[in-house]
Structure 1
Amino acid sequence: MSQYRLNRLFHATSGRALDVAVDHGFFGEASFLPGIENMAEVVRTLVSAGPDAVQLTLGHARLLQSIPGRQKPALVLRADVANVYGDPLDEHLFSHHVPNAIEEAVRLDAVAVCANLMQLPGRPDIREANIVSIMALREQATRYGMPLMIEPLVMQDNAAAGGGYTVDGDVTKIVTLVRQARELGADLIKADPTDDVADYSRVIEVAGDVPVLVRGGGRVDDRTLLERTVRLLAQGARGIVYGRNVIQHERPAGITSALLAVLHRSASVDEALAIVDGADA
């Protein structure tokens, strides 16, 4: 039954998907909020832009699902919350899943739920908590036919810069965690780019037949974003999950249209940049 829901996530022709993540407020980090203070407006903007999916939390999912019509983006529901992004970090770190996340996802007509699998330096307890959450979610997801997206997230200590954890693009670490996500029963995997984008084929290989969607991370300029996206898709990525590079963009609809053109029409970087700039329809 989970495939029925995934059919609403992936584009019928390209087989790819753009999921715009707007679940940042769940993590209690002030620096994540610029551009998404007014969530009702953000959701309306994204619905108008037309990505394949929008990733939201329990508190905001209804803003999307209450909009009438058959053509609005699908819902991906964030299923867990953690406090690992603080700058400085809280003295006590945690990661918890929403106990009734799968039932809520069914009620909200979501196409998938998303949960973290984090590897933090010196904090195996957080990874253990994630595994416990994933196993609980997997049992319920199987029962209700709800696809489970696991987000393997390899982090490095950013204490030298003031606190918090930042992404570690070490390919060996990413591959190892992606493989664990596959072993835990992921239906979808959301993984960071590798330091050398050319290494991403190793991530795709170890994921096997599980579709891999690439995590976007922090803000970069449009050309860098689009060039990286094209290279990752060429290596077998089935889609992208971008947040701040869309919602904090000065033209969210323009960058969404550009990314959709790359995903679904195999547009070149220059063609996509022209769409952002309004030189193309």
Structure 2
Amino acid sequence: MTQYRLNRLFDARSGRALDVAVDHGAFHEHGFLAGIEDMPRTVETLVDAGPDAIQLTLGQAPLLQRIRGKRKPALVMRTDIANVYNSPLESPLHSVHVPDAIEEAVRLDAVAVCVNLLDLPGHPEIREQCIRSILALRSDAHRFGMPLMIEPLVMRIGDGAEGYSVDGDTEKIITLVRQARELGADLIKADPTDDISDYHRVVQAAADTPVLVRGGGRVDDRTLLERTEAVLAQGARGIVYGRNVIQHADPAGITAALMAVVHRDAPVDEALALIGGAR
């Protein structure tokens, strides 16, 4: 039954997807709110831009689903909340999930739900919390035919009192992606590796579970599009980008450029031409 919902996420011709993540407000970090202070306007802008999906929290999902018409982006719903990004770090750290998240996702007509699998140096208890959340969500997800997107995030300690940041070590990413597969992921949202030419190994670790590549922090347009082109060529089934879209001066233009690369394998220079004030 999960395939019925995935049919609405992945493009029928390319078999790929662009999911724009706008779930940053769940993580209680003020710096994450840049570009999404006005969520109704943000959602309207993204709907007009036309990605395959928009990733939202339980509280913000109605902003998308109340919009009329058949051609709006699908909903991917965030199901958990963590405080590992805060600067300065809070204590104790936590990662918790919404107990009735799957039923809420069904009521909100989501095509998938997303949950973290965090690997934090010095805090194995956080990964345990994530695993317990995944197993609980997986039980309900299977019952309701709701695809479960697991987001394996290998983190490194930030500087000073700053929160954790992404670790792009290939071996660490592969190991955590493999655990996500073992836990029964229907989709895997994984970071790009520091050496982008390694990404086929991440796809291999996921076996036949579709891998969508996480965008992370802001980069220039050419770097973003070239990286997207590289991971797709190595077997990724799509991308989940947030700040590189919602904090862009031209969200519609960068969305059009990414859709061109994802669905038409458009050359980077052709895609860049779709962005106003491309950089």
Q: TM over 0.5, yes or no?
A: yes
In structure 1, the partner of 2:257 is 258
User: Retained in 2: the 8 A contact 1:53–1:74?
Assistant: yes
Classify the secondary structure of the residue corresponding to 1:89: coil
User: Retained in 2: the 8 A contact 1:79–1:113?
Assistant: yes
Amino acid at match of 2:124: P
What is the RMSD computed on CA atoms of the aligned residues?
0.9
In structure 2, the partner of 1:6 is 6
In structure 2, the partner of 1:270 is 269
In structure 1, the partner of 2:53 is 53
Measured after TM superposition, the shift of residue 278 of structure 1 is 7.7
Classify the secondary structure of the residue corresponding to 2:77: strand
Please give the alpha-carbon distance, in whole angstroms, between the structure 1 residues aligned to 2:139 and 2:91. 32
Measured after TM superposition, the shift of residue 236 of structure 1 is 0.3
> TM-score scaled by structure 2?
0.99
- What does 1:85-104 align with in structure 2 at a 5 Å threshold? 85-104=85-104
Deviations, residues 130-187 of structure 1 (Å, cap 9, x unaligned): 0000000000000000000000000000034x41100000000000000000000000
Q: In structure 2, list runs of 5 or more residues that go unmatched.
A: none
- What does 1:129-148 align with in structure 2 at a 5 Å threshold? 129-148=129-148
Measured after TM superposition, the shift of residue 277 of structure 1 is 3.0
In structure 1, the partner of 2:183 is 184
User: Retained in 2: the 8 A contact 1:149–1:186?
Assistant: yes
In structure 1, the partner of 2:237 is 238
Deviations, residues 180-225 of structure 1 (Å, cap 9, x unaligned): 0000000000000000000001000010000000000000000000
Please give the alpha-carbon distance, in whole angstroms, between the structure 2 residues aligned to 1:97 and 1:264. 33
Please give the alpha-carbon distance, in whole angstroms, between the structure 2 residues aligned to 1:45 and 1:91. 36
Please give the alpha-carbon distance, in whole angstroms, between the structure 1 residues aligned to 2:250 and 2:24. 19
Q: In structure 1, list runs of 5 or more residues that go unmatched.
A: none
Please give the alpha-carbon distance, in whole angstroms, between the structure 1 residues aligned to 2:159 and 2:82. 18
Q: Structure 1 vs Structure 2: percent identity of aligned residues? A: 72
- What does 1:219-238 align with in structure 2 at a 5 Å threshold? 219-238=218-237
Measured after TM superposition, the shift of residue 2 of structure 1 is 0.4
In structure 1, the partner of 2:42 is 42
Please give the alpha-carbon distance, in whole angstroms, between the structure 1 residues aligned to 2:34 and 2:97. 25
Please give the alpha-carbon distance, in whole angstroms, between the structure 1 residues aligned to 2:58 and 2:97. 12
In structure 2, the partner of 1:113 is 113
> TM-score scaled by structure 1?
0.98
User: Retained in 2: the 8 A contact 1:254–1:278?
Assistant: no
Please give the alpha-carbon distance, in whole angstroms, between the structure 2 residues aligned to 1:27 and 1:131. 19
- Tell me which stretches of 4 or more aligned residues in structure 1 moved more than 2 Å: none
In structure 2, the partner of 1:26 is 26
